[in-house]
Amino acid sequence: MTTIRHHLTEDLILGYAAGTLPEAVNLAVATHVSLCDECRAAVEAHEAVGGSVIERCGTEDMSAGARESALAAIRGPAPEVPAAPTPDAVLPAPLLSYVGKGLSDVKWRSVGMGVKQAILPTSSEATARLLYIPAGVAMPDHSHNGIELTLVLKGAFEDEDGRFARGDIEIADDAVQHTPVADISEDCICLAVTDAPLRFKRLLPRLAQPFLKI
Amino acid sequence: MFGHTDPFEILEPGAVEPAPRTCDVMVKRVSAAKRVGVMARQDKADWITEMRRIRDHADEDAFVTLFDHFAPRVKAFLMRSGADAAMAEECAQEVMVTVWRKAAAFDPSRASVATWIFTIARNKKIDALRKQRRPEPEDLPWGPEAEPDQAEVVELQQESAHLGQAIADLPEKQRDLIEKAFYGELSHSEIAAETGLPLGTIKSRIRLALDRLRHAMERKQ
């Protein structure tokens, strides 16, 4: 496992453990946790707090027949559990369940400058997209109305906050204006999650924005 | 909502823990709730036994014991999270049926039974209340072992009991805030903003649990 230098925030860890985040954000967290033992342990430690909450939250009486119908259910046939997907070198399991069998199943759409994107089907509170950025290309200058999570899956990019490689997650909010540049040596694939449209600083991308859905 | 707090700024091993405030130490109310808490802790070891009996012998009595303890709690948790009584009842039943079906996936060296049931109830909440999928992390390369190391199991279960006690010992206002975070009523930043307290006791317990889990993972790789 590669060394991860950029981790989840405590807000994201707690929100994921509590189950209060939008689906697209959960997807970014689950993907990072698939690659990062440290954050996996942190999520499990926070889930232990949830265990105490369940123990302490009081009780609501179940109806008279509840136990019997649960017993009937466990005696009945269990629904078939889908087999775990075959591991993919670039896309961890949580992403595969949105994409298909592997990277070749991603339905890329060009957004210009060699950059491609694929929007993943999550709930609408936030948007998750895979981005393909050719080696050396800069994403347009942008800042955010909300948050943007960028998780590197392949290659690396650099911006004002440092270098981000596989497994690293950058968490930018509206205070951050940045221009990520993909490493010169290799094309970069990332998962980007936004909870509000990006704001581009230059006119052309801004005009294109409604069409790109970014 | 997702401020730049580094989780490990607080959770880093060896970080200096803020001195416990007098109120954390002094307030020791012996309430009815707490006595129930003590009983629950004494039962904890048995929950693992029930899980093993379900896994190894499809033991329905063990299931009924778990059902009677946890189903009313899961129902209360779901109602507090926004489900109406009928939906909470149905979901609590489904959660318990999942406990039965997935018994082999329960790993007592990584979670207490209450924690594991919490994760199933949370996923059910996302599925039924919020109508969303819940992306789960990739399974670890090592699955649950048939018989995990007993020392690790004991350590994890003790750690969970200590964490529960630390939460029980918090002043009511702070405890409420933690619970609200799990019912989706508050984010972590809001908790910090509202209390102005670092919730040191909980943080240090979480940190211990985190260290333990991290070491368990390192040993297995």
Q: Which of B47, B118, B172, B219 to mutate: most A Cβ within 10 Å?
A: B118
- Which residues form the domain of B74? 45-133
Contact status, residue B135 vs residue A27, Cβ threshold 8 Å: yes
Structurally, chain A folds into a number of domains equal to 1
Q: Once rounded to an integer, what is the mean pLDDT over residues B193-203?
A: 52
Neighbour tally for B169: CB within 10 Å: 19
Cα B54 to Cα B62: distance, rounded to the nearest angstrom: 6
Residue B154 has pLDDT above 50, yes or no: yes
User: For residue A132, is it within any domain?
Assistant: yes
Residue type, position A95, single letter: L
CATH of the domain at B117: 1.10.1740.10
Record: contact A40-B137, CB cut-off 8 A = yes
- The domain tally of chain B equals 2
Which residue, among A181, A145, A139, A135, has the nearest Cα to A160 in the 3D structure? A181
The model's confidence at residue A65, banded by pLDDT at 50, 70 and 90, is: very high
Q: What is the mean pLDDT of residues A89-103?
A: 93
Give me the sheet containing A177-178, strands edge to edge: A177-178, A142-144, A198-200
Task: Output the domain CATH number for residue B185.
Answer: 1.10.10.10
d(CA A200, CA B186): 31
DSSP A177: E
Q: Which of B53, B84, B115 to mutate to test the interface with A (most CBs of A within 10 A)?
A: B115
B62 and B112 co-located in one domain: yes
Report CB contact under 8 Å: B131, A123: yes
Nearest CB among B10, B135, B210 relative to A97 is that of B135
Query: pLDDT category, B18, cuts 50, 70, 90?
Result: very low
At A185, is the pLDDT very low, low, confident or very high (cuts 50, 70, 90)?
Answer: confident
**Quick check: A182 and A156 in contact, CB under 8 A?**
yes
Find chain B residues with C-beta within 8 A of A41's C-beta.
210, 213-214, 217
Instruction: Name residue, tokens 């943080």.
Output: B203
Percent of chain A with pLDDT over 70: 85
pLDDT tens-place string over residues B69-123: 999 999 999 999 989 999 999 999 999 999 999 999 998 888 899 999 999 999 9
ipTM of the complex: 0.86
Residues of B in contact with A31 (CB under 8 A): 135, 137
Averaged pLDDT for residues B188-200 = 53
- Which residues does chain A have within 8 Å of residue B110's beta carbon, measured at their own beta carbons? 44
Read off the amino acid at residue B92: A
How close A121 comes to chain B (CA, Å)? 10
Q: E strand or H helix at A164, and its extent?
A: strand A162-165
One-letter amino acid of B220:
K
Dihedral of the alpha carbons of A6, A7, A8, A9, in degrees to the nearest 10: -80
Decide which of B144 and A170 is more confident: A170
CA quadruple A67, A71, A76, A77: dihedral positive or negative? positive
Q: Domain end: B117, B133, B149, which one?
A: B133
Give the amino acid at B9.
Answer: E
A64, part of any domain: no
Q: Please tell me the distance in Å from B65's CA to the nearest CA on chain A.
A: 10
Q: Which domain holds residue A50?
A: 1-57+88-214
- Domain membership flag for residue B34: no
Give, as one character, the DSSP assignment of residue A123.
-
Q: Is the pLDDT of residue A157 over 80?
A: yes
Chain A residues lying within 8 Å of B112, measured CB to CB: 48, 51
Token digits for B11?
Answer: 């959770």
What number is the average pLDDT over the span B27-34?
A: 38
User: Within its chain, how far is the Cα of B167 from the centroid?
Assistant: 11
Distance CA B211, CA B221 (A): 16
Contact in structure between A27 and B32 (CB atoms under 8 Å): no
Nearest to B7 among A22, A42, A51 (CB): A42
In this complex, do B163 and A49 lie within 8 Å of one another by their Cβ atoms?
Answer: yes
Asked if B175 and B127 sit in the same domain, the reply is: no
Name B17's Cβ contacts closer than 8 Å, sequence gap at least 6. Answer: B200, B203, B204
Model confidence at B1, in pLDDT bands (50, 70, 90)? very low
- Whether residue B197 is predicted with pLDDT greater than 50 in this model: the reply is no
Structure tokens at B218: 């390192």
Report which DSSP code applies to A138.
B
When pLDDT is cut at 50, 70 and 90, the band that residue A95 belongs to is very high
The domain that holds A31 is classified in CATH as 2.60.120.10
> Chain B residues with CB inside 8 Å of A47's CB?
111, 115, 118-119
User: Which amino acid does the sequence have at A82?
Assistant: P
Same domain, B184 and B129: no
Residue B31 lies in a domain: no
Examine residue B1 and state whether it is found in any structural domain, yes or no: no
In chain A, the percentage of residues whose pLDDT exceeds 90 is 44
Whether B183 is in a domain gets the answer yes
Confirm whether B188 is domain-assigned.
yes
What pTM, to 2 d.p., does this model score? 0.80
The last residue of a domain, from among B133, B161, B190:
B133
